[in-house]
Amino acid sequence: MGAIMWRRQLSVGQPSIDEDHKHLIEYLNQLDTALNARVFQPQRVAVILVKLLEYTREHFAREEKIMEAVKYPGLAEHRQQHAEGVRAISDLSNAFARTPNHEHAERIYTFTAEWLVRHIIMQDTQITPYVRGVWL
């Protein structure tokens, strides 16, 4: 576990998508900090989780709109991956809501951090050629 650092490899080349990703990483880092606190505070984690989930949904909608605007051919598949990601994170989040302990919170962090970084690098960056030079 550790804070995620923004790096060039994560750049999609579309300013608002890159900004959104930086915000998502910031929420994940807040979660990481809460997990490393001397005293575990489930309420603190719950507050961060609500924001993270809400922002994730908003971001996916924004990203899909941009993909639509530039006629990205992989949109349908990408939409599905977003839906699967949201479902998996919501499931983990529900498990934490039922049993708000450190283990459940850590599971959310580990899964979401890995999922997001992999998704950005492997999937989101595929739209780079479509957004290059496009003013949105």
Minimum CB separation of residue 87 from Fe ion in Å reads 15
Nearest residue to Fe ion, by Cβ distance, number only: 124
Binders of Fe ion among residues 48 to 77 (CB under 5 A) are 63
Give the CA distances from residue 131 to residues 16, 35, 40, 119, 128, in Å, rounded to whole numbers and listed in that order.
11, 37, 43, 17, 5
Stretch that binds Fe ion, among 17-25, 27-35, 106-114, 124-132 (CB under 5 A): 124-132
**In contact, 53 and 89? CB cutoff 8 Å:** yes
Contact call for residues 82 and 123 (beta carbons, < 8 A): no
What's the min distance (Å) between Cβ of 98 and Fe ion?
28
Q: Is 124 a binder of Fe ion (CB under 5 A)?
A: yes
> Which of 78, 104 has the CB closer to Fe ion?
78
What is the Cα 92 distance to its own chain's centre?
Answer: 14
In the bound state with Fe ion, the residue whose beta carbon lies nearer, of 34 and 66, is 66
Q: Tell me the HSE value of 128 on the side-chain side, using a 13 A CA sphere.
A: 14
Distance CA 62, CA 60 (A): 5
Alpha-carbon distance of 52 to 49, in angstroms, equals 5
- How many residues at the interface with Fe ion, by CB under 5 A? 2
Minimum distance, C-beta of residue 2 to Fe ion, in the bound complex (Å): 23
CB 111 within 8 A of CB 46: no
Pick 32 or 124: Cβ nearer Fe ion: 124
Nearer residue to Fe ion within complex by CB, 60 or 96: 60
Report if residue 20 touches Fe ion, rule: CB under 5 A: no
Residues found near Fe ion in the complex (CB under 5 A): 63, 124
